[in-house]
Structure 1
Amino acid sequence: MLAMRHLLDLCKRRGFLFQSAEIHGGLRGTYDYGPLGVELKRNVSHEWWNSTVYQRSDVVGIDTAIITPPAVLRASGHVDQFTDEMVDSFLSKDRFRPDKAPELKLNNQGKILPITAPDKSTAKLWEQEIRTQFAKGAMIGRKGNEILLQVDRMEKDRIILKRDPAFISTDSAKEETTSSLKPSLSSSSPSNNDAALLQIPYRGYVDPNTNSPFLTEPRPFNLMFKTYLDPIDPIDKVINATLDAQKSSLDMKATRELVDKTLYPSLTYLRPETAQGVFINYMTIQRSHPHLRIPFGIAQIGKSFRNEIRLEHAIFRTPEFEQMELEYFVAPWQAQEQFATWRKSRMDWWRLYARHHDRIRERAHAPDELAHYSSGCMDVEYLFPWGWGEVEGIANRGDFDLSKHTEATGVKLHYTDVVLMEERVLREKTTGQKETSAEVLAREQFTPHVVESSCGLNRAMLALMLDAMDIVDEQGRSVPLEDADDNDKSRKGVRTIMRFHPRLAPIKAAVMPLISNNKDLVDICTSISHHLRQELQVNVALETQNTTVGRRYYRMDEIGTPWCVTVDYDTLSDNMVTIRDRDTGAQRRVLKDEVVGIIQDGLRLYPRHRGSQQATNIA
């Protein structure tokens, strides 16, 4: 995780990413994007939009509302099914998903169960809780911040612990032949009734942070944020409904039903995904854009919200995030072919903008991972410092979404192929025979299937920043991240270069005078930077800090600026400037009027001499 710490330090220091509301103590899982971060995020989303919409004639864009009525999400299944299982740790009080939790780790050839506390004082408190509540009478030791339980053996659904001999007595042996855990931790009678042993339940996973098996039963947890469109405070309605329930002596379940019924008229949700906004607008877009023929797509970039159980790895998993999603509508018989096509297209996109192709892979979902309506799903994964993590998913969703919204509303969200229909009518008139083939008629009108590409913008940013980060020595050679410790004088000269693809770089060029306080040089720099902004419509830095040119170069390297343009005294007489390349460090003298053309060529996805047939990664 050293790479993450190094990156986050750079992000905060240079203005990519900040903890939200930091001066007020911050809010867990929320981040603000600084001047460089917002540019990087905008560039990543623009490149996605350019690839998905601008470079195609069969995809249009849309921007739908964040606040979503319950009817939409009930039809899509989110109200009833958009849940994760949740487990709490009795010791740490942490909450996590069991399907993401690790298996139990044992030390000393399976004889010791170590539970790791944050510090020694916490370990002492936890040891007391285990002795008195969760494993009464177990043989326990403690070393530093680790609590060590003696294990006799592991069984399929339980851990058999050794008892402390001092605890065993005639009375306790009778009392403790079954588990002495709390009711919530109880299990079936042990297979071994030996008084010198004690069993605790094991469900196949432990607390990810502590290795503790002392956990609650898993329970469902809905991931959607509720909100209410109502001038009356919903809390007032809850209080009044609860008081009415008490007067009627209703039990807890009936009280909850009454409260939900009272709140329902004003209930809304913050959308958990952008896709449903596309599906409910499918017919409207088809009517307003009759030229769109199957297959065609609808793209959207926007914020979504999920009440995540576990927030982790900075912007990798947060409650508020942005998605770049495409819903590509196809005929049922085109679905598998289009699924394969989009899989390749999206992998090509990632390989274009990332430097380390060995850190990117595609992983097909196993049959037991697929949603019940999906016939195929592939994740694009990036090798983060903590392991492989999903950055995008491509799925063959079938006709599930459109069919469900049709079922809920009665509005037929189908597609009619007017050309095929007109051909059939003409054929029937010519032959005098009515078409009866179900297969032919089914091709004229059908509910489209959907191939979806869903990319997390925040995760894509994090992956591309980690991918671009390069630690180099004084000679520009890559070195291990461990050598980036600035406090070690023996490692002087080690620095960071963010080798973004030029089209992703937050600042495309920095223009700087050799001497910052020379008005003539500054005026020329101002003119060049203004010209670049006007002609290329890109972010350009006018770098006039009062320090050496070398330091300014290194600062621009650290934030990923591909080109630096330096104006010196010779420029006053020969109109030539020095342009420096971030990745090679090479410098060359060019006419100042050539700067725009050089940077424009460097920002092209497709080289001039090859037209638009082959993409070239120039990062």
Structure 2
Amino acid sequence: MSEIQATTTMDKIVSLSKRRGFIFQSSEIYGGLNSCWDYGPLGVELKNNVKQAWRRKVIQERDDMVGLDASILMHPRVWEASGHVAGFTDPLVDCKVCKQRFRADHLEGDKCPACGGELTEARQFNLMFKTFMGPVEDNAAVVYLRPETAQGIFVNFNNVQTTTRMKLPFGIAQVGKSFRNEITPGNFTFRTREFEQMEIEYFVKPGTDEQYHKEWIDRRFQWYLDLGITKERLRLREHAADELAHYAKGCFDIEYYFPMGWSELEGIANRTDFDLKRHAEYSGQRIDYFDQEANEHYVPYVIEPSAGADRGTLAFLLDAYHEEPDKDEVRVVLKLHRALAPYKVAILPLSKKEPLVAVAKEIEQELRKYWMVDYDDSKAIGRRYRRQDEIGTPYCVTIDFQSLEDKAVTVRDRDTMEQERIPMAELSKYLWEKLAW
């Protein structure tokens, strides 16, 4: 892992993100807001591509999955049933000297890690953001910003199953924002108070749950490999018995080797029938599945692959970052998978003279029908190539004066830097074959 530490520090990714428009500090002109980040023009494309690649794999390519987009604000009884109101807490301690706050379970000793001062006794701190619905701020109006997307799926189990007529096993997938009032957020976008989840609840017949749990672990691990994550930087870690949530039968984390060490990208848990039974109890509604073949009602078990869109985007950025010698300089290149790259193609006319610009603009408009395209005519062509390398654009199309004669363009590959002359009439077909995934 020494190569990761030597070439890919978090500072380099933070600098690249600001410089090239991937991620900005939220409210920066006011001094920023701790642990809140804005995705810039390139960052929003990258993150959307991560989410689209996830949706394609877990919904589009399967006939046993459907999507959902549940409300962020839900009835407060939802969070009582799920156990979040009573038990979604972290132990909080304060330094009596410097007044900083820490999670007690993250400290190695009984002194403040910042100044060595004495710490207060730990107290439990609920991580949910509380707000009020309506004009009156009283206990009857309390609602919460959801701390996870899963509960929106569980409370819609009957609605989805009835309207889609899905038979077990089947799953519901959702991408959405969640909010946790973390005591100690940090490490750029790895741990934030506002984050986006890509979550699946896959419902199965009790007794088949362990089989499907293993299948989802294998599938989700392979997804990261298929999108270019280096295998040596990815691992599975099984939760020990004392780590498991009280309702979980088993859980595995997919971990990535971040600059701060091995940390979770995605968790795949066997949640048994806990959630559906709790919501049936608290709502007074029947929530179960009628198996027509067996002629019986039962409450399904659920397998939950839960991934972070922000953590995934950060991992893809880190893993794609490379520094390579380039004569007397260093070439920075983001070797992002072509499915994830913000721009797929860059159009680079060799000159700003009208004949070249006219051809370049015509090519640009044609390619924009299919992909996100960048147009760059500023400074030397070598500089422009380097800019596209640094933002991860897989292919650059150069239009030169010869193009006016032979009706061909030069296509440069980001990773190999090899160049190929392609007839303009065949350019779209050529790029379709290269960018297909």
TM over 0.5: yes
Task: Confirm or deny: 8 A CA contact 1:512 1:522 kept in the other structure.
Answer: no
Higher strand share: 2
1:524 pairs, out of 334, 355, 359, with 359
Residue 354, structure 1, aligned to residue 228, structure 2: yes
Q: Distance in 2 between matches of 1:567 and 1:320?
A: 44
SS at match of 2:207: helix
Q: Distance in 2 between matches of 1:418 and 1:58?
A: 17
Residue 95, structure 1, aligned to residue 101, structure 2: yes
Q: Distance in 2 between matches of 1:599 and 1:82?
A: 49
Q: In structure 2, what residue type is equivalent to 1:527?
A: E
Give the structure 2 partner of residue 229 of structure 1: 133
Output one character per residue of 1:82-126: Cα deviation in whole Å (capped at 9) or x when no partner.
11111122233221212222x34xxxxxxxxxxxxxxxxxxxxxx
Provide the aligned C-alpha RMSD in A. 1.3
- 4+ aligned runs moved over 6 Å, structure 1: none
* More displaced stretch, 588-597 vs 377-386: 588-597
* Structure 1 unpaired stretches of 5+: 105-201, 235-262, 422-443, 476-491, 606-619
Residue 533, structure 1, aligned to residue 368, structure 2: yes
Task: Confirm or deny: 8 A CA contact 1:4 1:385 kept in the other structure.
Answer: yes
1:445 pairs, out of 294, 297, 301, with 297
Give the structure 1 partner of residue 91 of structure 2: 85
1:501 pairs, out of 337, 358, 366, with 337
Q: 1:391-430 to 2 correspondence within 5 Å?
A: 391-421=265-295
2:15 pairs, out of 9, 12, 25, with 9
Q: Distance in 2 between matches of 1:91 and 1:359?
A: 40
The Cα of 1:419 is off from its aligned counterpart by 3.1
Task: Confirm or deny: 8 A CA contact 1:223 1:307 kept in the other structure.
Answer: yes
Q: Distance in 1 between matches of 2:75 and 2:415?
A: 50
SS at match of 2:35: coil
Q: Distance in 1 between matches of 2:226 and 2:97?
A: 46
The Cα of 1:528 is off from its aligned counterpart by 1.2
Q: In structure 1, what residue type is equivalent to 2:362?
A: S
Task: Confirm or deny: 8 A CA contact 2:65 2:170 kept in the other structure.
Answer: yes
The Cα of 1:213 is off from its aligned counterpart by 6.3
Give the structure 2 partner of residue 345 of structure 1: 219
1:578 pairs, out of 406, 410, 424, with 410
Task: Confirm or deny: 8 A CA contact 2:96 2:117 kept in the other structure.
Answer: no
Give the structure 2 partner of residue 513 of structure 1: 349
Q: Distance in 2 between matches of 1:224 and 1:404?
A: 19
Q: 1:91-170 to 2 correspondence within 5 Å?
A: 91-101=97-107, 103-104=108-109
Residue 288, structure 1, aligned to residue 163, structure 2: yes
2:326 pairs, out of 450, 464, 474, with 474
Give the structure 2 partner of residue 600 of structure 1: 432
Task: Confirm or deny: 8 A CA contact 1:511 1:542 kept in the other structure.
Answer: yes
Give the structure 1 partner of residue 421 of structure 2: 589
Q: In structure 2, what residue type is equivalent to 1:9?
A: S
* More displaced stretch, 18-27 vs 353-362: 353-362
Task: Confirm or deny: 8 A CA contact 2:205 2:301 kept in the other structure.
Answer: yes
Q: Distance in 2 between matches of 1:97 and 1:276?
A: 26
Output one character per residue of 1:207-242: Cα deviation in whole Å (capped at 9) or x when no partner.
4445x362111110000001101223x2xxxxxxxx
Output one character per residue of 1:442-483: Cα deviation in whole Å (capped at 9) or x when no partner.
xx21100000011011111111100000011115xxxxxxxx
* Structure 2 unpaired stretches of 5+: none
2:307 pairs, out of 455, 458, 472, with 455
Q: Distance in 1 between matches of 2:114 and 2:161?
A: 50
Q: In structure 1, what residue type is equivalent to 2:133?
A: L
Task: Confirm or deny: 8 A CA contact 1:16 1:37 kept in the other structure.
Answer: yes
Q: Distance in 2 between matches of 1:5 and 1:460?
A: 18
Task: Confirm or deny: 8 A CA contact 1:565 1:580 kept in the other structure.
Answer: yes
Output one character per residue of 1:525-548: Cα deviation in whole Å (capped at 9) or x when no partner.
1111211121x2x21011121x11
2:24 pairs, out of 18, 31, 51, with 18
Task: Confirm or deny: 8 A CA contact 1:553 1:564 kept in the other structure.
Answer: yes
Residue 378, structure 1, aligned to residue 248, structure 2: no
SS at match of 1:68: coil
Residue 312, structure 1, aligned to residue 186, structure 2: yes
Task: Confirm or deny: 8 A CA contact 1:392 1:454 kept in the other structure.
Answer: yes
Calculate percent identity across the aligned residue pairs.
Answer: 46
Q: Which has the larger radius of gyration?
A: 1
Output one character per residue of 1:359-387: Cα deviation in whole Å (capped at 9) or x when no partner.
11110000110011101000111111111
Q: 1:177-192 to 2 correspondence within 5 Å?
A: none
SS at match of 2:199: strand
Output one character per residue of 1:134-178: Cα deviation in whole Å (capped at 9) or x when no partner.
xxxxxxxxxxxxxxxxxxxxxxxxxxxxxxxxxxxxxxxxxxxxx
Give the structure 2 partner of residue 63 of structure 1: 69
Q: Distance in 2 between matches of 1:208 and 1:562?
A: 45
1:38 pairs, out of 44, 69, 74, with 44
The Cα of 1:283 is off from its aligned counterpart by 0.2
Q: Distance in 2 between matches of 1:91 and 1:464?
A: 40
SS at match of 1:26: coil
* More displaced stretch, 331-340 vs 92-101: 92-101
Q: Distance in 1 between matches of 2:15 and 2:375?
A: 24
Q: In structure 1, what residue type is equivalent to 2:224?
A: W
Output one character per residue of 1:561-598: Cα deviation in whole Å (capped at 9) or x when no partner.
00000011111111110000000000010111222122
SS at match of 1:504: coil
Give the structure 2 partner of residue 365 of structure 1: 239
Higher helix share: 1
Q: In structure 1, what residue type is equivalent to 2:189?
A: I
Task: Confirm or deny: 8 A CA contact 1:69 1:267 kept in the other structure.
Answer: no
Output one character per residue of 1:274-302: Cα deviation in whole Å (capped at 9) or x when no partner.
00000000001111111x11000000000
Q: Distance in 2 between matches of 1:526 and 1:67?
A: 46
SS at match of 1:347: helix
Q: Tell me the TM-score normalised to structure 1 length.
A: 0.68
* More displaced stretch, 593-602 vs 312-321: 593-602
Task: Confirm or deny: 8 A CA contact 2:72 2:146 kept in the other structure.
Answer: yes
Q: Distance in 1 between matches of 2:178 and 2:185?
A: 15
Q: Tell me the TM-score normalised to structure 2 length.
A: 0.96
Residue 268, structure 1, aligned to residue 147, structure 2: no
Sort the Cα spacing of 1:346 and 1:553 in 2 relative to 1 into closer, same or farther, 3 A.
Answer: same
Residue 551, structure 1, aligned to residue 393, structure 2: no
Q: In structure 1, what residue type is equivalent to 2:307?
A: C
Q: Distance in 2 between matches of 1:25 and 1:213?
A: 28
Q: How many residues align?
A: 431
Task: Confirm or deny: 8 A CA contact 2:185 2:193 kept in the other structure.
Answer: yes
